[in-house]
Structure 1
Amino acid sequence: MPIRATALPPQPEHTTVPADDGEVTLLIARQVEEGYEEGFEEWAQGILRTAATFPGHLGYGLFRPAKRGAPWFLVHRFRDAEACRAWQESPERAEWFANCEGHRHTEIARRELTGMETWFAKPGTTRPAPPRWKMAITSGLAIFPISLTGNAVLGPRLEGLPMVASTAVYTVVFSVLMTYVAMPAMSRLLRRWLTD
């Protein structure tokens, strides 16, 4: 059944964290009118699946509100700013917004997180990332124990390997521990200080 095209609503002011040349996480909050949740969820899943077909799209998520009347959150991850821009400016995305009758929703916030900022973003909010000097201190506190333990444990076992191979092992181990263990722990431990 054809759907009548509707104009895009005015977009809210966007907050963009200064970019490193790396992955981009796009976090969008949308307010959905009561009674239109089912139609919105179907639309959101469709637009997220379409975005996932674009080169450089790394994954997505849809987060329902924790309580009645709270916003929904859509999350896209892209390889880089160029991949993110290709999706944002695509006719496919424009078509989804032109065909969104049957559910009422408004974008209320949007953030683009790049580089280290994604480690410090609190899920379910669009609060700005902490100052870079606080991120640097927190990252240093996370890196120190990993470096100390890694050198003590891996160092003796990697002595016979060529430098390129041993560096590759260190890189993989350190990246995994930083992303999944150290940074989540440090950002939780220092959450109050980071957001003051």
Structure 2
Amino acid sequence: MTATSLEHTTVPADTGEVTLLIARQVEPGFEDAFEKWAQGILDTAAAFPGHLGYGFFRPSAPGAPWFLVHRFRDAAACRTWQESPERQAWFDHCEGHRHSEIARRELSGMETWFAKPGSTRPAPPRWKMVVGSTLAVYPISLLGNVFLLPHLEAVPLLLNTALVSALFSVLMTYVAMPTVSRILRGWLRG
């Protein structure tokens, strides 16, 4: 049997969302069997409390790896799935699928902003992520304080804070972090 069970790895101890990215190599001719097996394990994981969704990516070219992605509410939910008898049962019955794990990454917190999609390369050091996120937060905070907050003075504090938080989150996720990550790509990876 060439299929290997996923090794237990330590999940980061923070309470933020955890993304598990697994690359698997499938021997030619066994793609259909692997796809059925992978879909079964992903569907089983999706039923676990704290599982936020999954992705299944076929190879970009013949012989390239397949990627399975799980998202969990937190490290505890990820650990519950990884240590579950249901997950182990899938690996106990994977004969004939001829696949092996070739890479695994667990991303949590800011690492997901700095991870290159489809890559199993490690995230940059945390101090570089702090510098990058500071460069993203600073202009948003400055512009918000100058142009937005003066217009929200009459709004109750709870609503004011909710509006600012929502706007800043959208700008960080869709504008600032992608831009900073792209501009600093060489430095972050160096």
Tell me the TM-score normalized by structure 1: 0.88
* Contact residue 4 and residue 99 of structure 2 kept, 8 A: no
Aligned to 1:167: 161
Q: Please list, as runs of the form range in 1=range in 2, the aligned pairs for 1:175-190 lying within 5 A after superposition.
A: 175-190=169-184
* Contact residue 3 and residue 95 of structure 2 kept, 8 A: no
1:128 to 2:122 alignment = yes
Aligned to 1:9: 4
1:32 to 2:19 alignment = no
Q: Deviations over 1:96-152 (max 9, x none)?
A: 112222321001111111111111111122111111111111101111121122233
Distance 1:81 1:13 in 2: 13
Backbone CA RMSD of aligned residues: 2.0
* Contact residue 29 and residue 72 of structure 1 kept, 8 A: yes
Equivalent in 53, 57, 60 of residue 54 of structure 2: 60
Q: CA deviation at 1:68?
A: 1.5
* Contact residue 3 and residue 100 of structure 2 kept, 8 A: no
Distance 1:123 1:130 in 2: 14
* Percentage of identical aligned residues: 69
- Paired residue secondary structure (1:161): coil
* Contact residue 18 and residue 108 of structure 2 kept, 8 A: yes
Aligned to 2:67: 73
Q: CA deviation at 1:167?
A: 1.0
1:99 to 2:93 alignment = yes
Q: AA paired with 2:136?
A: A
Q: CA deviation at 1:12?
A: 6.0
Equivalent in 83, 86, 110 of residue 89 of structure 1: 83
Runs of 5+ unmatched residues, structure 1: 1-5
Runs of 5+ unmatched residues, structure 2: none
Q: CA deviation at 1:154?
A: 2.4
Distance 1:66 1:179 in 2: 26
* Contact residue 81 and residue 87 of structure 2 kept, 8 A: yes
Tell me the TM-score normalized by structure 2: 0.91
